[in-house]
């Protein structure tokens, strides 16, 4: 049985009919749909267990705390982290990257450098820009090659003793490029730079293991991996987390407070101020359990087959331009393309008229769009519930777009 045949009945929203057509949801890179187990787990939490977590003696408070902390344990195993103290629960990838930009740049001095890449999402650009302005830092970007790969020769030239942080995406949300994380980390370590990896487009699709990746920090969003919105994961190597000063204050992140000072809580709670997203943590646990039951190797194989089908089909359509690596290079589960003579928004609207949901625009990657010389593009992305038939529908609809010109 194909993976989509096994999983589709688990996703209630896929029964919808859009504009008279069965929904073909090809926009999981923006946010994936949720299986019934995630929806029901969160609903049951609110019906039976809801209370504020930690410091509660009553039954509901203890139940809620146990459920919240169980998510941390589940994520630790899912990504191969060494300990639960290395898992910080945030509000999303963007929140985690902002936290790291604030905390990592706080002790840096004017003239120190932060290195990012041309293929980054705005969430891995703007926080570093803001920190650089505050601290007088220099922000540099590694260019991409004509194939859409990271230019590792240029990376080597830009990496110097002044480089204090290297922040880069594991998988490009536009190009699908899978960057060689261990190699980049090894090079950064030679100059003593801290590494931050945006894993938002990798965690839903690839088996993760923090030991061989060897990065200092890794962040991702459960809502892209069948889980809920409003929660994120920040992995931090324990030695690195312990050396960071919290930049956000409030309840839970403290151990004791006086009028003139405060003592921070232990790891990881010192980086989790305020009321945490407990229901979302319950949903995160359910999403991880769902993916683990499927098997991440099987997930990767299924989505790569769909991506290859889409890329090969799009390449055969006159007037269609594909962006990102093509032949012989494994890539993420996205296929970004443009149709000559049509604005990406028009492409998306015409596809939606046939029940096919794709993303269109700059994909929160304006510097990359400028590098590619386009204002935007359309993007199909795939998940465990997508089928070869849906990809065929996409290809047929894109081919038919030429007739509207």
Q: Give the Cβ contact number of residue 23 at 10 Å.
A: 18
Chain CA centroid to CA 51, Å:
29
The strand ranges marked E within 112-201 are 113-117, 138-142, 163-169, 194-198
Chain CA centroid to CA 396, Å:
29
| Cβ-proximal residues to 372 (8 Å cutoff; 6+ apart), any chain | 323
User: Residues 227, 232, 237, CA angle at the centre, nearest 5°?
Assistant: 130
Q: Can you give the length of the chain in residues?
A: 405
CB 72 within 8 A of CB 87: yes
How far lies 91's CA from each of 15, 123, 232, 348, in Å? 29, 13, 5, 29
What is the Rg, in whole angstroms, of the alpha carbon atoms belonging to the chain?
22
Chain CA centroid to CA 25, Å:
18
What's the half-sphere exposure (Cβ side, CA atoms, 13 Å) at 83?
9
Q: Which of 357, 364, 369, 375 is catalytic?
A: 364
Please report which helix (H) or strand (E) contains residue 235, including its range.
strand 232-236
Q: What are the tokens at 127? A: 């926080």
Question: Phi/psi at 235 (nearest 5 deg)?
Answer: -90, 135
Residue 32 is classified by DSSP as -
Any catalytic annotation for residue 364?
yes
Q: What span, in angstroms and rounded, lies between the C-alpha atoms of 179 and 169?
A: 7
Q: What are the tokens at 249? A: 């204050």
| Cβ-proximal residues to 208 (8 Å cutoff; 6+ apart), any chain | 78, 79, 80, 199, 202, 218, 296
CB 82 within 8 A of CB 292: no
Please report which helix (H) or strand (E) contains residue 391, including its range.
helix 388-401
Chain CA centroid to CA 230, Å:
13
Paired sense of beta strands 194-198 and 217-220, if any: parallel
Q: Annotated active-site positions, please?
A: 364
């Amino acid at each position: 049985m194909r993976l989509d045949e096994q999983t589709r009945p688990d996703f209630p929203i896929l029964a919808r009919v859009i504009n008279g057509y069965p929904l073909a949801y090809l926009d999981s890179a923006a946010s994936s749909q949720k299986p019934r187990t995630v929806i029901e787990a969160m609903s049951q939490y609110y019906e039976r267990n809801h209370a504020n977590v930690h410091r509660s003696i009553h039954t509901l408070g203890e139940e809620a705390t146990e459920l919240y902390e169980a998510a941390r344990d589940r994520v630790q195993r899912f990504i191969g982290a060494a300990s639960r103290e290395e898992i910080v629960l945030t509000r999303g990838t963007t929140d985690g990257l902002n936290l790291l930009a604030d905390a990592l740049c706080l002790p840096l001095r004017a003239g120190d450098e932060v290195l990012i890449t041309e293929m980054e999402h705005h969430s891995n650009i703007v926080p570093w820009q803001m920190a650089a302005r505050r601290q007088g830092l220099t922000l540099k970007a590694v260019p991409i090659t004509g194939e859409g790969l990271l230019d590792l020769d240029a990376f080597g030239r830009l990496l110097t003793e002044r480089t204090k942080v290297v922040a880069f995406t594991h998988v490009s949300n536009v190009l699908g490029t899978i960057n060689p994380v261990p190699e980049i980390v090894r090079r950064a370590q030679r100059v003593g730079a801290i590494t931050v990896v945006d894993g938002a487009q990798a965690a839903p699709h690839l088996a993760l293991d923090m030991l061989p990746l060897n990065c200092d920090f890794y962040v991702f969003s459960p809502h892209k991996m069948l889980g809920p919105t409003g929660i994120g994961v920040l992995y931090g190597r324990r030695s690195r987390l312990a050396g960071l000063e919290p930049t956000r204050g409030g309840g839970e992140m403290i151990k004791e407070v006086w009028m003139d000072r405060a003592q921070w809580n232990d790891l990881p709670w010192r980086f989790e101020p305020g009321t945490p997203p407990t229901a979302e943590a319950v949903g995160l646990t359910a999403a991880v359990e769902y993916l683990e039951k499927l098997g991440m190797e099987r997930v990767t194989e299924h989505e790569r087959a769909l991506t290859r089908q889409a890329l090969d089909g799009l390449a055969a359509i006159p007037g269609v331009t594909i962006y990102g690596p093509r032949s012989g290079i494994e890539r993420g589960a996205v296929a970004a393309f443009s149709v000559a003579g049509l604005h990406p928004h028009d492409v998306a609207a015409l596809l939606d008229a046939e029940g096919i949901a794709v993303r269109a625009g700059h994909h929160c990657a304006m510097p990359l769009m400028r590098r590619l010389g386009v204002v935007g593009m359309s993007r199909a992305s795939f998940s465990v519930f997508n089928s070869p038939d849906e990809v065929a529908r996409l290809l047929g609809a894109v081919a038919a777009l030429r007739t509207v010109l």
